[in-house]
Structure 1
Amino acid sequence: MTEVFWVSFLNNIKWALPLLVVLLTGCGYPQLDEEEDAVIPTDYTYIIGPGDSVSIFVWGNPDISTTATVRPDGKITIPLAEDLLASGKTPSQLARVMEKELSKYVRDPQVVIMVSGFEGVYSQQIRIIGQLSGGGGSSGGFGGGSGVSGVSGGGGIGSSSGFSGGGGFGGSGGGGFSAKAFPYKKDMTLLDLMIQVGGLGQYADGNKASIIRKIDGEAQHFGIRIDDLIDDADLSANVKILPGDIVIIPEAFF
């Protein structure tokens, strides 16, 4: 009986030890340095995605001006035009498509598009999951605010403020396992993200956090040092955040 016990115990240890080593060493990911070259978008423009609320203004035609939510299939329906593909387009591009459609019924339509209730496509979201504080952010979407527009002749990004909600998966106040998402903002850094998310949870191990980032179409894993950045003001840890980054915050083991 004793021999059977020890055989079973050793077999369990054989599988448990590698997992324990991975957890305690922070998985051994290469560190992402502040000086490291990154493909930072210089001409970033917001891309509409499913869940976005799109306000459509047709100059001189208030009866066909409307607000629509982009459906999961990426399309919207507006007066005089059904099932227009909005996802994957900039506000300006969508405005041009609508002008073409509406020109069948309206003489020389001029369309202005404003986006609010940002969701965006995954490739432009910043998603963060793990041990987070209860402040800031939004779980399952971005709060109100307006500031992404498409007008005849061009469009751009203004300010978007007041991300709503907090939520997550049982985390509140002192932390817990939570997931939040934010739209990418030009020149965003790790410190900007921490301010937006409201900081880490009580039991987070910030120096074992990591970023999953797509480089040349391949997902790669990098370590980041949030504790050094926040607790020690180590600006070398203030790495650039890029569209599509996923930040993972593990729990500390005591």
Structure 2
Amino acid sequence: MKRLLIVVVVGLMGAGCSNGPNSTYEEFGTRVNTSGFGHKYAQPEYEDELVLGPGDTISVQIANNPDLDSIQAVQIEGSIQVAYLGPVKVAGLTPSKVRDKLQLLLTPYIRDVSIVVTPVQIISKKIYVYTTDEKGGLRGRAFPLQGDLTLIDLITEVGGFNELSDDCHVKVVRGDPRHPTVWNINVRDMIENGYTAGNVPMRPDDIVFMQPTFFARIAQTLYKVTQPIRVLSQSVSDTAQSVFFLQNGTLPRNGGVY
């Protein structure tokens, strides 16, 4: 057992995903995603104002025409219904660009048209948070990105760290097929000492991985290494109980049948 533990620890030092794919653009080329995270309505890196997507709700107010004001949900095909125009494609645009588009389209129908477009609810943009369980499996949740959210805000919203999570090495991944950005952030240092350089603002499609601690990795690896032994032991036990049942017509007492 001692020798096994040494092998596991050494393996952890050089393990990780060294045998897995790197998922780089060079590996996949143009067969898959070639821009941003991969969503149809991607968020430009330079754009501070969120682009709209299906499910988002906006308020459209037309000056001096209160009867034309409306609150619209962006439909699955990316459009909203606008008086005089019918369906208008708005997915992939920011609210200010939607305003400009509607003002241009409504000019033939309304003199000196002035429009205000305000986001009411944004649910199409999400952040993905992953942790590991005691067996080493990944557990993930998606959170809507609403308003000005930072890493500390997000970690607080998910309930902080559990006993398996390493609060000194939180991985933030901003995916891209060519140039992904990956940070390893010391959240404990931010909380205890106030060094908030790592409190990065969250952007749509960010992945936050609350990595396991060193000892959690050891426990998870030991579980995986010993799993075949447990399966074999259970199989032998089941076979022995079956033989006992065939010979005696009942299961042994420790099998739960009396």
TM-score tier after normalising by the smaller chain length: 0.5 to 0.7
Asked whether the 8 Å contact 1:51–1:119 carries over to 2, the reply is: yes
Partner AA of 1:179 in structure 2: A
Asked whether the 8 Å contact 2:79–2:88 carries over to 1, the reply is: yes
CA distance in 2, matches of 1:192, 1:55: 27
Asked whether the 8 Å contact 2:151–2:202 carries over to 1, the reply is: no
Q: 1:195 to 1:72 in 2, by over 3 A?
A: same
Q: Secondary structure at the match of 2:55?
A: coil
Q: Secondary structure at the match of 2:99?
A: helix
Q: Secondary structure at the match of 2:16?
A: helix
Give the Å deviation of 1:101.
2.0
Q: Secondary structure at the match of 1:45?
A: coil
Match of 2:201 in 1: 241
CA distance in 2, matches of 1:64, 1:114: 15
Give the Å deviation of 1:179.
3.0
Asked whether the 8 Å contact 2:122–2:144 carries over to 1, the reply is: no
- Count of aligned pairs: 175
Q: Secondary structure at the match of 1:130?
A: strand
Give the Å deviation of 1:237.
6.2
Q: Percent identity, aligned pairs only? A: 22
Partner AA of 2:160 in structure 1: G
Q: Secondary structure at the match of 1:63?
A: helix
Asked whether the 8 Å contact 1:59–1:110 carries over to 2, the reply is: yes
Structure-1-length-normalised TM-score: 0.55
CA distance in 1, matches of 2:207, 2:92: 20
Unaligned runs of 5+ in 1: 1-9, 24-40, 133-175
Match of 1:52 in 2: 56
Q: Aligned ranges for residues 199-238 of structure 1 at < 5 Å?
A: 199-214=160-175, 217-230=178-191, 232-233=192-193, 235=195, 238=198
Partner AA of 2:64 in structure 1: G
Give the Å deviation of 1:196.
4.6
CA distance in 2, matches of 1:202, 1:119: 31
- Give CA-to-partner distance per residue, 1:81-117, whole Å, 9 cap, x none: 2231212222222112112222232222221111111
Q: 1:90 to 1:43 in 2, by over 3 A?
A: closer
CA distance in 2, matches of 1:42, 1:220: 15
Residue 80, structure 1, aligned to residue 74, structure 2: no
Q: 1:194 to 1:18 in 2, by over 3 A?
A: closer
Higher relative contact order, structure no. (Cα contacts within 8 Å, ≥ 6 residues apart): 1
Give the Å deviation of 1:72.
2.9
Higher relative helix content: 2
Q: Secondary structure at the match of 1:22?
A: coil
Give the alignment partner of residue 182 of structure 1, picking from 126, 145, 155.
Answer: 145
Structure with higher Rg: it is 2
Structure-2-length-normalised TM-score: 0.54
Give the Å deviation of 1:54.
0.9
Asked whether the 8 Å contact 2:52–2:90 carries over to 1, the reply is: yes
CA distance in 2, matches of 1:114, 1:234: 35
Q: Aligned ranges for residues 148-163 of structure 1 at < 5 Å?
A: none
Asked whether the 8 Å contact 1:225–1:237 carries over to 2, the reply is: no
Q: 1:92 to 1:220 in 2, by over 3 A?
A: closer
CA distance in 2, matches of 1:192, 1:235: 15
